[in-house]
């Protein structure tokens, strides 16, 4: 029997640089309420959101992903020729085929590397970080570019009280590579398909296939298949989050071998500022530990929310590069992924 070679990876790895892109158009609660039957006060009180950003003009998921990726590469100081894989975490890339990773890699001047999409709803960045870490530790790549990018605004029903005010567009990216000390813990991740229907589009893929069949021979111009609108049972997600996420956070500290007193920054997914405040309190993190609150002016940007939130904290000085952070991504699936990670340096090229 021949012996087949194995890769030798890097065990000590870290986020070496971060980059982000925020769409130019800022949409206030009042603007959302021109269509939605709600008020600025209700939205801020229940979700912590005042503004979100939606793409306009020539902005697209592709352009945002490339802009964030470009900044992450520059801010990391890593020569792009060393990047061995690209992961695009997104649930809103416009095509199922072709998927976005290879196009984004091409636009970034790193055509040819393994590049793929990772779909895990708002848990996408946490899942992407877990996969990127494993690629590095197994030796499949020396440096990985992880991009979370979403255009949530395309699938919003402006009349839906459960979603219209929550979601925003944007992109955030990190370059992950070898480091002297380890800066990324093993992931604590999981899913709950029993509650899958709590967040989803208003028709599923099987219905789409049925429709595709029934549209055979018809003119798509006169018989459009229609948009896929996002629906969410907010209170059901809230209840799931209240039970599942505190356990995930405690396990993340446990597998990282650190105590809650070691945590200097808390960066939960930006789904709802009230959920995050509750989680911080229940975990027993000290009041003065800075917690990401990018949702206030960026909304919930799904797989982009964690890198956008980290970037905001680093640029405004609420957090500093090198600090120990507790990260938690969660959302559709339902799914979640948490890690303890050292924050990358503040970006020299920022998104605002
Ligand atoms: N504007 C004004 N009133 C609204 C409203 C809106 N947009 N949406 C609901 N209401 C009303 C309801 O009609 C209800 O009124 P009632 O008490 O008279 O019956 C009341 O407000 C409470 O509704 P409810 O749906 O229970 O709201 P909520 O407090 O749960 O807040 C969310 C709604 C969406 C903000 C909240 O459930 C949430 O954030 N959930 C988790 C979302 C999440 O984590 N998602 C992950 C995505 S990645």
Please write the tens of the pLDDT for every residue from 138-196: 999 999 999 999 999 988 888 899 999 999 999 999 999 999 999 999 999 999 999 99
Q: Can you tell me which residue has the tokens 């398909």?
A: 193
Q: Which entry of 10, 29, 75, 122 is annotated as an active-site residue?
A: 122
Task: Record the pTM.
Answer: 0.94
User: Is the per-residue pLDDT at 220 higher than 90?
Assistant: no
φ and ψ at residue 194, rounded to 5 degrees: -60, -30
Give 207 Cα–ligand 1 centroid separation in angstroms: 28
How far, in Å, is the centroid of ligand 1 from the Cα of 235?
Answer: 7
Q: Residues lining ligand 1, judged by CB closer than 6 Å? A: 38, 42, 46-47, 122, 161-162, 165, 199, 232, 234-235, 237-238, 241, 271-272, 275, 300, 331
- Indicate which atom in ligand 1 lies nearest the CA of residue 300: 48
Residue 95: predicted pLDDT: 87
The pLDDT value given to residue 213: 55
Determine the Cα–Cα distance for residues 254 and 246; give it in Å rounded to an integer: 12
To test the pocket of ligand 1, the residue of 234, 296, 298, 329 to mutate (highest count of ligand atoms within 8 Å of its CB) is 234
Q: Which of 75, 269, 276, 293 is catalytic?
A: 269
- Give the sign of the dihedral formed by CA 125, CA 131, CA 137, CA 143: negative
Average pLDDT over residues 111-135: 98
User: Which of 155, 170, 131 has its CA nearest to residue 52?
Assistant: 170
Residue 219, pLDDT > 80, answer no
* CA–CA distances in Å: residue 136 to residues 89, 99, 252, 301: 17, 23, 20, 27
In the predicted model, is pLDDT for residue 215 greater than 90? no
Average pLDDT over residues 104-131: 98
Nearest Cα residue to atom 33 of ligand 1: 234
**Quick one: pLDDT band at residue 224, thresholds 50, 70, 90?**
very low
Q: Whose CA is nearest to atom 42 of ligand 1?
A: 234
pLDDT on residue 202: 67
């Amino acid at each position: 029997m021949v012996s087949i070679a194995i890769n030798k990876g890097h065990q000590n790895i870290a986020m070496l640089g971060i980059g982000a892109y925020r769409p130019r158009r800022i949409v206030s609660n009042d603007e959302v309420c021109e269509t939605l039957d709600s008020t600025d006060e209700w939205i801020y009180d229940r979700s912590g959101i005042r503004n979100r950003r939606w793409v306009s003009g020539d902005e697209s998921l592709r352009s945002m992903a490339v802009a964030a990726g470009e900044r992450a590469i520059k801010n990391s100081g890593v020569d792009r020729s060393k990047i061995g894989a690209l992961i695009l975490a997104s649930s809103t890339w416009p095509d199922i085929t072709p998927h976005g990773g290879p196009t984004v890699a091409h636009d970034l001047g790193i055509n040819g590397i393994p590049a793929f999409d990772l779909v895990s709803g708002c848990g996408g960045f946490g899942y992407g970080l877990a996969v990127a870490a494993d690629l590095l530790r197994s030796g499949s790549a020396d440096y990985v570019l992880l991009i979370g990018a979403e255009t949530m605004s395309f699938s919003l029903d402006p009349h839906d009280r459960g979603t219209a005010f929550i979601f925003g567009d944007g992109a955030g990216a990190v370059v992950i590579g070898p480091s002297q000390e380890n800066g990324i813990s093993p992931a604590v991740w999981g899913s709950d398909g029993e509650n899958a229907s709590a967040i989803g589009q208003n028709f599923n893929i099987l219905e789409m296939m049925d429709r595709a069949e029934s549209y055979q021979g018809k003119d798509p111009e006169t018989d459009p298949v229609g948009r896929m609108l996002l629906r969410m049972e907010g209170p059901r997600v809230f209840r799931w989050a209240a039970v599942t996420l505190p356990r995930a956070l405690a396990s993340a500290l446990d597998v990282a071998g650190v105590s809650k007193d070691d945590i200097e920054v808390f960066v939960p997914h930006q789904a709802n500022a009230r959920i995050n405040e509750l989680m911080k309190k229940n975990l027993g993190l000290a009041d003065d530990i800075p917690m990401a609150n990018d949702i206030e002016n960026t909304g919930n940007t799904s797989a982009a929310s964690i890198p956008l939130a980290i970037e905001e904290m680093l640029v405004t000085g609420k957090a500093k590069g090198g600090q120990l952070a507790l990260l938690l991504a969660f959302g559709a699936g339902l799914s979640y992924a948490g890690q303890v990670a050292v924050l990358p340096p503040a970006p020299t090229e920022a998104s605002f």
